[in-house]
Structure 1
Amino acid sequence: MRTYLITLVGLLFVLFSYAAAYDPLDPNGNITIKWDVMSWTPDGYVAVVTMNNFQMYRHIMSPGWTLGWTWAKKEVIWTMIGAQATEQGDCSKFKGNIPHCCKKTPTVVDMLPGVPYNQQFTNCCKGGVLASWGQDPQSSVSAFQVSVGQAGTTNKTVKLPKNFTLLGPGPGYTCSPAKIVPPTKFFTPDLRRKTQALMTWNVTCTYSQFVAQKHPKCCVSLSTFYNETITSCPSCACGCENKHKCIKSDSKLLSMVGVNTPRKDNAPLLQCTQHMCPVRIHWHVKLNYKEYWRVKITLTNFNYRVNYTQWTLVAQHPNLNNVTQVFSFDYKPLVPYQLINDTGMFYGIKFYNDLLMEAGPAGNVQSEVLLQKDKDTFTLKQGWAFPRKVYFNGDECMIPPPDAYPYLPNLAHQNLVAFSTLFCSMLLILLVLF
C-alpha cells in the first residue's frame, strides 16, 4: 500500500509539473538546444551548439542565458569560441596545454558584444539575450563552438551529456534528456553543396511560471470612460514578503549613486505599492464610437533596478479578431490552434519604445488600440470590454475579480427616469384634453 501511494504521488507530481509548463497560448513554445559534432580531433570532437528560442512571446533578457550540463565521462573543454565557461575547475593534471574548463558540471555563458573578432562565432556575443520567435526571429538564435577532449572519436564512443539546465536569467526552465536525432544538414557558402554534421543531439527546454516564482510578476488595473471608479491591482498581487524593503517614490535614497545598479542575486528594488508588483498593466476603455471602440494600454515599471528589454504583452479578448489600428506598439495576432483569433501580442517598436525603463518618470510605455465592433457580441455590460488574460514577458498577470470591475451606470436609475418622464407626459396630455 505504501509503495502504491508513493508511486501515485510521484505520478501526480510529474503530471502537475507538465501541466504547469504547458502554455495553451503557445503550445509549441520551447528553447531547443542543438549539439552538432562537426569534426573529430585526436581525443574528441569540435561541436557547434545552437540555441533556438521557439517561444512566440517569451524571451531571455539581460543578464542573459546560462547553460549547464554534466559530462557523461571525463570530458574537458579545450577551447570555446563565442561563449565561455564561468569556472575553469581543477586542471592540475594537465601540463603545457591547459584546457579552458575541466569541471564535471561546466556552466557556460554568452560573450558580451564587442569581443575581439577571433573570439566571435555566428549568432554569438549578445550578452545572452534571446528575442522571442514571434517578435524577432533573426535575434532568437544564439550559438557557440566548443572543442571537447577525452570524449571519444566515433559516434559509438561519444556519450551524450546529461542533466542539462538553462537559466534565463532566473529559474523556470526544465530541460529534457539529450536525444540523438538525424544529423543536421548544412549548405556551403555558395549554396551549391550540402554537407551534414557527423552526429547531432537535441535538448528541449520548456518554461513554467510555477517553477520560476511562486508569485505573479505583474498585475492588471482597469478603468473606463463611463465610470469614475478605477479598479486597482489586487492587494499583494505579487506577494508582500518584501514590503518592508520597498522604497517610497519620494525617498531620498533614490538620489544615491548606484541605487539603480542590478545586483548579482537579481534582488529587485520595488517602489512601495499596494500590489507590490514589478510591473503594472493598465487597461482603460477610452471611447465608444458607432462602429468602433478604443482602448488605452499603459505599462508601468515599479522596479528601480531593471530595464525590460524587448518586452512583450499578450492579451486575450474576443474582439482582438477585429483590431483596426495599434498606434504606438507593434502587434501580432496569436492563433495557437488556428481556431479562435482572440489573442494578440503587443511589443515595442524597435529603437523607439522596445525598452521599458526602470521605475521613475520614464518608467512607462503606452499605446491606444482601435477595434471594430463585433455587433453580435459587443457590449459594455458585465466587464465584457476587459481582457480575459494578460501576460507580460510570458508570465501571466494577476487580474482583479469580475465583481470589482467598473460597472455601467445603474439601469434601475435609468428606468426610473424613463418612468417619471412618461408619467409627466401623460399628465400633460390629460391637462390639455380636460
Structure 2
Amino acid sequence: MEVLNSVLLLILAATLSVAVAYDPLDPNGNITIKWDVMSWTPDGYVAMVTINNYQMYRHIMAPGWTVGWTWARREVIWSMVGAQATEQGDCSRFKGNIPHCCKRTPAVVDLLPGVPYNQQIANCCRGGVVPAYGQEPAAAVAAFQVSVGQAGTTNRTVKLPKNFTLLGPGPGYTCGPAKVVPSTVFLTPDHRRKTQALMTWNVTCTYSQHLASKYPSCCVSFSSFYNETVIPCAKCSCGCEHKSCVRSERDSKRLAVTGKHAAAAPHATRVHGGGAPASLLQCTTHMCPVRVHWHVKLNYKEYWRAKITITNFNYRMNYTGWTLVAQHPNLDNITEVFSFDYKPIVAYGSINDTAMFYGLKYFNDQLMEAGPHGNVQSEVLMRKDASTFTFRQGWAFPRKVYFNGDECQMPSPDSYPYLPNAAPAAASASLVRSAVVVASLMLLMA
C-alpha cells in the first residue's frame, strides 16, 4: 500500500510540474521566437528574428522583452538592426573590425522609439513592449535583424543556439529548445513573388504565474445594491512577508524626494536592466499592487448591470495597455460595455463565458500609479438568461479574474453579499449543528 501511495504521489507531482504553465482560459497561449536565415555571409549568416506573442490577454509591458541564448560554438554578432546586445563582451581577439557582441551568452533588447531610420526594421523599436494577441493581433510581434559570424555557412553546418531565455519584463517564462521547421515563405512588397528563407527554426516560450511570483499580483472584492456589506480582498492576498508600504501619497512623494523609496520597499526587486523602479505599495490589508472590484449595481426587468473598478496601489508603476479578463456564465449575453473595449474569449468550443476588457486608446488604456488618478472603471450591461439568471448564492459575481494575464486572488466561495432573505451557508450549517446538539441533550435528559 505504501508503495502504491508513493507511486501515486510521484505521478501527481509530475502532472503538476507539467501543468504549471497551462492556462485553461488560454490553452494555446505562448510566445514563439522564430529565426529565419535570409542569406549566407563569408563566415556565417544574416537572420531575421521575430517574436510573436500568441497569448490572448498577456502582453509584454515596459521595460520590455529581453531575449537571451547560448551559442553552440564561438559565434559572434557582427551587427544588429532593430535591437542591440546589452553587453559587448571580450572582443580582444579581433583586430580592425570589432563585432557588436562577443559574449557566449548574449542578451538582446529592443531599441527605443525614435532611433535613426537606418537602425530600424519593421516591428522594431517600441521599447520591447508587445501587446497581447487578443488585444492587437497585428501589433503582437517584435522583430530584429542579426548578422552572425564564426558560424556555419550551410544548412548542415549551422548549429542552433541553445538555452533560450525570455524576460518580459520579469521572470515566469520558460523556453523550449530550438527546433528546425519548414522554411518561412515571404511575399515581396508588391505581393507578386514569393521568396523563401534558407533555414528556419522556432523556439516556444510559455508563462507560469507560479514561477513568476510566490504570491498573486492582484485581488478581487465584491459588493452589491441589495446588501450593504462589502466583501474586501482577503488579508495578505498578495503576501505580507517582509513587505513595507507607505500610508499616503504625501509619504510616497517625501520618500521620492529623499531618495529613500527603495529602502522603504525592501521586498521589491528590479527587473532586468534596472529599467523598472522598485515597487512602492500603498498600505492595505491585502498588500496587492492591483485590486479589481465587482459591484452588482442595478436590476432591470430584462437586464442587469455590473460596475468594474480597477485600482492601482503601486506608487511606482503605470500599467500601459492593461487587460482584464473575467469568467462569468452571463458574459455570453453582454449587451453593452461602457468606457472599456471588450472581446469574448472562447476557450472550449462554444462555451462563451469569458470576456477580455481593456482601455480605450488615448482615454483610459493607461492605469496610472497609485493616487487620485490611479483607477479606471466601466459598467457592463447584460441580458438576463431566464434559465440561469439569479442573484442567489453569489451567481452574479465572477468565478475567475485576471489582470494583465495573472490570476487574481478571489474571496472565499462562501463570502459574497447575500440577498436580504438568504442566510449565509456557514450560518445555516451552524444552526443545524446547534439543533442537533439541543436534540441530543433533550434525548439524554428524557
Q: Please confirm whether the aligned pair reaches a TM-score higher than 0.5, indicating the same fold.
A: yes
**Which is higher, the Rg of structure 1 or of structure 2?**
1
Contact 2:249 2:371 in 1 (8 A): no
**SS of structure 2 residue aligned to 1:17:** helix
Amino acid at match of 1:104: R
Deviations 1:382-402 (A, max 9, x none): 100000000000000001012
Partner AA of 1:252 in structure 2? D
Of 303, 318, 338, 1:307 maps to 318
Instruction: Say yes or no: does 1:105 pair with 2:105.
Output: yes
1:123-177 CA distance string (max 9 Å, x none): 0000000000000112211000000000010000000000000000000111110
Deviant stretches of 4+, over 3 Å: 5-15, 250-253, 255-263
1:432 alignment counterpart: none
Q: Separation in 2 of the partners of 1:249 and 1:361?
A: 11
The Cα shift of 1:15 comes to: 3.3
Stretch of structure 1 that moved more, 402-411 or 302-311: 402-411
Contact 1:133 1:140 in 2 (8 A): yes
CA contact (8 A) 1:71 1:105 kept: yes
What is the alpha-carbon distance in structure 2 between the residues aligned to residue 11 and residue 411 of structure 1?
Answer: 43
* Cα-to-partner distance string for 1:349-384 (whole Å, 9 max, x where unaligned): 111100000000010000000000001111111100
Task: Identify the residue that residue 202 of structure 1 maps to in structure 2.
Answer: 202
Select 2:353's aligned residue among 342, 367, 372: 342
Match of 2:432 in 1: none
Q: Secondary structure at the match of 2:414?
A: helix
Amino acid at match of 1:249: S
Does the aligned pair in 1 maintain the 2:252–2:315 contact within 8 Å? no
Deviation at 1:11, TM superposition (A): 7.0
CA displacement at 1:268 relative to structure 2: 1.1
Q: How does 1:7-22 map to 2 (within 5 A)?
A: 15-22=15-22
10-19 or 376-385: bigger deviation: 10-19
In 2, Cα distance between the equivalents of 1:22 and 1:180? Answer: 24
Letter in 1 for 2:22: Y
What is the match of residue 68 of structure 1?
A: 68
Letter in 2 for 1:409: P
Query: Structure 2: which amino acid aligns with 1:396?
Result: E
Structure 2: which amino acid aligns with 1:229? T
Secondary structure at the residue paired with 1:346? strand
- Pair 73,393 (structure 1): closer, same or farther in 2 beyond 3 Å: same
| Equivalent-residue separation in structure 1 for 2:148 and 2:8 (angstroms) | 41
Q: Deviations over 1:99-127 (max 9, x none)?
A: 00000000000000000111111100000
Identity %, equivalent residues: 74
The corresponding residue for 1:24 is 24
Structure 1 residue 266: deviation in Å?
5.0
- Judged with a 3 Å threshold, the aligned counterparts in structure 2 of structure 1 residues 299 and 207 are, in CA distance, closer, same or farther, namely same
Write the deviation string for residues 393-425 of structure 1: whole angstroms up to 9, x where unpaired: 00000010122211110358xxxxxxxxxxxxx
Q: What amino acid sits opposite 1:282 in the alignment? A: H
- RMSD of aligned alpha carbons: 2.1
From 284, 292, 304, the counterpart of 2:303: 292
Distance 1:365 1:241 in 2: 28
Q: Shift of residue 253 of structure 1?
A: 3.9
Whether contact under 8 Å (1:259, 1:305) holds in the other structure is: no
Aligned with 1:267: secondary structure? coil
Q: Which residue of 2 aligns with 1:396?
A: 407
Q: Determine helix, strand or coil for the equivalent of 1:159.
A: coil
The 2-side partners of 1:260 and 1:203 are apart by 39
| Distance in 2 of aligned mates of 1:310 and 1:354 | 5
Q: Which amino acid aligns with 1:281?
A: V
Structure 1: distance between partners of 2:242 and 2:314: 13
- Inter-partner Cα distance in structure 2 for 1:208 and 1:9: 22
Partner residue of 2:251? 252
- So what's the TM-score if we normalise by structure 1? 0.90
Matches within 5 A, 1:18-57: 18-57=18-57
The Cα of 1:307 is off from its aligned counterpart by 0.4
- Other structure's SS at 1:21 match: coil
| Higher mean displacement: 191-200 or 266-275 | 266-275
> Counterparts of 1:290 and 1:122 in 2: how far apart (Å)?
52
Deviation at 1:260, TM superposition (A): 8.4
- Partner residue of 2:365? 354
CA contact (8 A) 1:259 1:304 kept: no
Amino acid at match of 2:137: P
For structure 2, list consecutive stretches of 5 or more residues without a partner in the other structure.
263-268, 424-446
Indicate how the Cα distance of structure 1 residues 216 and 154 shifts in structure 2: closer, same or farther if over 3 A, else same: same
* Structure-2 change in CA distance of 1:10 and 1:67 (3 Å): farther
Moved more, 372-381 or 402-411: 402-411
The Cα offsets for residues 301-346 of structure 1, whole Å up to 9 and x where unpaired, read as 0001110011000000000010000010000000012221100100
Q: Corresponding residue for 2:266? A: none
